Structure 1
């Protein structure tokens, strides 16, 4: 082997070592960057990527709610089950089984998905159907939603003429269940 060939062999070896060091350093940097970026992912964004999937949600005050994830909004989601629909406050969702591995960032959401819990409750109130309001402490009220405020819902418990008005703070709400 000539001295030129030996020199090129040494230089090739050094270049390969430098490449290996760069790859190892870059892999660690990419892993760190990935962890840092993941802290920006929200539960709502993971649920948004799970639309149409069968999920099981553990909800504070309710227990397990299963069904198809049909809609996700700002602070709430709609789960359609076999016999009934559930509007769940995301703040009361403790765990989700069956969610997508992906996430859909909020900038990619439709304007309709940015509607808050109040909008979902207004829709139920406008329908005029009785429902069951479940609170995070485990209590439930068979009601007719009447009006929706900024951070509460007004409902009528019992018969409509009895005027047993019930105000429920959004923060105490676990979910609203259809009676069908």
Structure 2
């Protein structure tokens, strides 16, 4: 019976080697799948997971904006800081500090997340609040929002009420102040 024990030992050894090789192959496959799936994660989905937390947003034309992330919508987010609020156009965001390590898939977002940057700006226009519209090139227009078009916002500036049209493609952030 010595040769049978030796044969079973060889077969057990081969089986363990096969399991180890499968485990290595499976680990590599899982890592590849993880990388492939993560490429589907968007900045907005990471921000949705960060709602309610304090973050810092580096925004082209506006600098570092810090505060509590209140809401994220399609192409924008609402940030509340001490004495001011920001509507930030996501294409102008260069970096995010202190975001959640998690992500929320778009299908799990609240219905209000489907609102566009235009919807958020219409709320400010309806309120008649004084604000500063900052553009990605560093420009600033101080006034009140008048009307919001499909791809631009009207800003009434100065005492004469001069009207400036700001294209959404140039928009970085809109700062409103608590009064």
TM-score, normalised to structure 2's length?
Answer: 0.96
Number of corresponding residues: 178
1:163 CA drift (Å): 3.6
Output the CA distance in 2 between the equivalents of 1:179 and 1:83: 6
Counterpart check, 1:105 vs 2:120: no
Tell me which stretches of 4 or more aligned residues in structure 1 moved more than 3 Å: none
Q: CA RMSD in A?
A: 1.1
- For residue 177 of structure 1, the aligned residue among 159, 163, 175 is 175
Q: Which runs of 5+ in 1 are unaligned?
A: none
Residue matched to 2:59? 59
Residue matched to 1:11? 11
Residue matched to 2:23? 23
Output the CA distance in 1 between the equivalents of 2:84 and 2:177: 7
Residue matched to 1:124? 124
TM-score, normalised to structure 1's length?
Answer: 0.95
Output the CA distance in 1 between the equivalents of 2:114 and 2:174: 19
Output the CA distance in 2 between the equivalents of 1:83 and 1:95: 23
